[in-house]
Structure 1
Amino acid sequence: MSPGPVMLDLVGVSITPQEREMLLHPQTGGVILFTRNYESPEQIASLICEIHSLRSPHLLVAVDHEGGRVQRFRDGFTHIPPAALYARGYDKDKKQAKLLARECGWLMAAECRAVGIDISFAPVLDIGKGVSGVIGDRAFHSKPEMIAELAHEYMSGMREAGMSATGKHFPGHGSVKEDSHTAQPVDERDLSDILMEDVVPFERMIHYGLAAVMPAHVVYPAVDDKPAGYSRVWLQQILRQQLNFQGMIFSDDLSMQAAGVAGDFASRAELALQAGCDMVLVCNHTDAASQVLQSLENYSNPASQARLIRMHGRGNIDRQALMASAQWKSVVEKVKLLGDTPDFELPV
């Protein structure tokens, strides 16, 4: 069965009969997991194995596991530091800062792959300007060029572990104070300013082979009156054509407050897909997910299906062997010695 364009979530630590039916729906293509789905490494590995066994090609299993404040699995997993910490000492020892970013990218991805996770939605490519509380220390740096350098290393570590990277939140969430989970952020800057600053990390990461992008639920009225995730200007003209991005585009969660501008959930999904998203996320709202699946009964996009399959995790990592390896022990010890307070303070 070909994968569909909808990514759903689950309410608990096992699959309910209703969820099983929804996961088997032809328009479902993936599952995103949250802390509520997690009890232990063994339990989550079993749950993911069950999800993967439902279909062939298997459903893509994703998680937000950046580190710092955004890490869904805690007990049994290494506490990955926030991205801002990787810039510690960058001016003094650039080589060591880049190595740390690569090692933490590998560690995050390897531990996730060892329980079956296909992708973690990382890295964040937003600029850490100290404006956006929801971004805060999730940003690598305050300078676009440094973000690109550190994110490239982080992505390289992820690749080593068999995981593709997703850059977010295109074209940049760092210049708005409002949180798109609870409000509608508006960035009033001109396109030229955004391209010369916020888009730089995305452009460079695309050059380095970035596999996927997640657009922001932010309105940039100088460019389009729609949020970037609903905008053909941003996704087709700028991301696809101008930046020559050929990879996967995931919408951000359509249940977020800022996504509501498009109307009901069926309308949100339709607008996101029409704008150029390959897959839409519908989280924390089972009825809405069902509505979206029904509304897309006749939808098909072979190009999106091919991109989605390329996001599947590569290779197998045995968790016990991983934790017994010298590489894992070395990186974990280094992370434990770091603490998690960046040298430059960003609001959280």
Structure 2
Amino acid sequence: MSIHAPLILDIEGISLNADDRRRLAHPLTGGMILFGRNWQNRAQLTDLCAEVKSIRADLLIAVDHEGGRVQRFRTDGFTHLPPMRALGELWAQDAQGQPGSGVLKACEAATSAGFVLGSELRACGVDFSFTPVLDLDHGESGVIGDRAFARDPRVVSLLARSLMHGLLQAGMGNCGKHFPGHGAVKADSHVALPVDKRGLKTILADDAQPYRWLGSVLTAVMPAHVIYSKVDSRPAGFSPRWLQDILRRQLGFQGVVFTDDLSMAAARQMDGRTLSYAEAVITALEAGCDLALLCNRSAVNDGTELDEVLDALAEAQLKGHWMPSEISEERRLNLLPRSPARPWDELVRSSDYMQALDRLP
């Protein structure tokens, strides 16, 4: 039977309980996503990550840690990183009579932001962050807003590439989101299902361009919880058209495809009905996702919904309704860092870290 651990789940508190350990040991669990509720201080986070790895060394420990308003850890030495718009604004100084200076400073600052972000997380045992945002700032989306670098896909691509270079220097991969672009819709996909009525040609020529230009350096992609109605009636994360035909075949992407959080209110809407958590996970995997995120369920009914999803995945596998993918599992394992992390005390005394801090806007 093929091995594939597709589920990324959460835990309730600052340490593992018996149910957390049992779920993390399950062969269909591929990793854990951290939230602010899982943070007390650096020592606690480091101990938590070490305990997770003691259960299974191959588990991916991930977090949404972008900078600005999306940064889970902000105290006990963690650097307050700027929102990505601040880097775009630094770039724009070129248009104010300072040729070259803004672009170069912005790219250098983006690399420094990626290096600081990745190094600080890795020093505490975190493997991976869901960053950078590749959405274009159309001025429409409140949920994206200053998380976007800029409106111009060229600026977004070059600043994102610089940020990813900094992550790479820290030994961390990256995740471009939200494919093919969330910035042109007003609705917040945490609570509603946005619909983008533009045609495929328009989207590919604008919002999706960063995915084309960054294909060789992106290690992961997260599709948007958005319906692009002229392309497919399904949201991008449930759409073989978007994930297999366009992202994989047309744009040539070879890395990991994560779902966005399938616990969100709009995330399980498809073909006019609300899918169960298990149906949503299996549908997303069958559509072309490699890994499925199911967040914020561990504290609900003692996490029984997570157990139900794991049981449903196992049953679907036995009955042949879901076929595990060795390629997807290989992609998951490739997200794990290959080099040892520098301990925190060594990191913060290092010259490259101090220089990176000086270059942040």
Residue in structure 2 matched with residue 97 of structure 1 by the alignment: 106
Structure 1 vs Structure 2 CA RMSD: 1.3
Segments of structure 1 that go 5 or more residues without pairing to the other structure are: 339-348
Deviations 1:54-108 (A, max 9, x none): 114x200000000000000010200011111112231242111111111111110
Write the deviation string for residues 16-59 of structure 1: whole angstroms up to 9, x where unpaired: 11111111111100000000000011110110011011114x20
1:3 offset after TM fit, Å? Answer: 5.4
What secondary structure does 1:46 align onto?
Answer: helix
Does the aligned pair in 1 maintain the 2:115–2:356 contact within 8 Å? Answer: no
- Under a length normalisation based on structure 1, what TM-score does the superposition of the two structures give? 0.94
Aligned to 1:306: 330
Q: What residue is the counterpart of 2:296 in the other structure?
A: 284
Is the 1:282–1:288 contact (alpha carbons within 8 Å) kept by the matching residues of 2?
no
Question: Which of 125, 136, 160 is 1:116 aligned to?
Answer: 125
Is 1:165–2:174 an aligned residue pair? yes
Partner of 2:320: none
Q: 1:174 aligns to what?
A: 183
Which residue identity does 2:346 align to in structure 1? A
Whether the 8 Å CA contact 2:4–2:326 is kept in 1: the answer is no
Q: Provide the residue aligned with 1:80 in structure 2.
A: 81
Cross-structure match for 1:294: 311
Partner of 1:10: 11
Instruction: Map 1:39-78; keep pairs closer than 5 Å.
Output: 39-56=40-57, 58-76=58-76, 77-78=78-79
Alpha-carbon offset, residue 2 of structure 1: 5.2
Alignment of 1:118-197 (within 5 A): 118-197=127-206
- Work out the CA distance in 2 between the residues paired with 1:133 and 1:73: 22
Partner of 1:331: 356
Aligned partners of 1:217 and 1:259 also within 8 Å: yes
Percent of paired sites with the same residue: 45
Moved over 3 A (4+): none
Offset at 1:130? Answer: 1.0
3-state SS, counterpart of residue 253 of structure 1: coil
How many Å separate the matches in 1 of 2:339 and 2:249? 32
1:43 and 1:333 map into 2 onto residues whose CA distance is: 28
* CA displacement at 1:260 relative to structure 2: 2.2
Native 8 Å contact 2:258 2:291 kept in 1: yes
- More displaced, 253-262 or 41-50? 253-262
- Please say if residues 83 and 138 of structure 1, whose CA atoms lie closer than 8 Å, have aligned partners that are also in contact: yes
CA shift digits 1:136-179 (9 cap, x unpaired): 00001110011001000000010010000100000000000001
The alpha carbon displacement at 1:277 in A equals 0.4
Structure 1 residue 331, shift from structure 2 partner: 2.4
- Whether contact under 8 Å (2:5, 2:27) holds in the other structure is yes
Amino acid aligned to 1:84:
R
Aligned residue among 241, 266, 271 for 1:233: 241
For residues 250 and 288 of structure 1, what CA distance do their matches in structure 2 show?
20
Q: Does 1:218 align with 2:207?
A: no
Q: Is the contact made by 2:112 and 2:357 (CA closer than 8 Å) also made in structure 1?
A: no
- Secondary structure of 2:176's partner? strand
Please tell me the residue identity of whatever aligns with 1:130. Answer: G
Local SS of the residue matching 1:61? strand
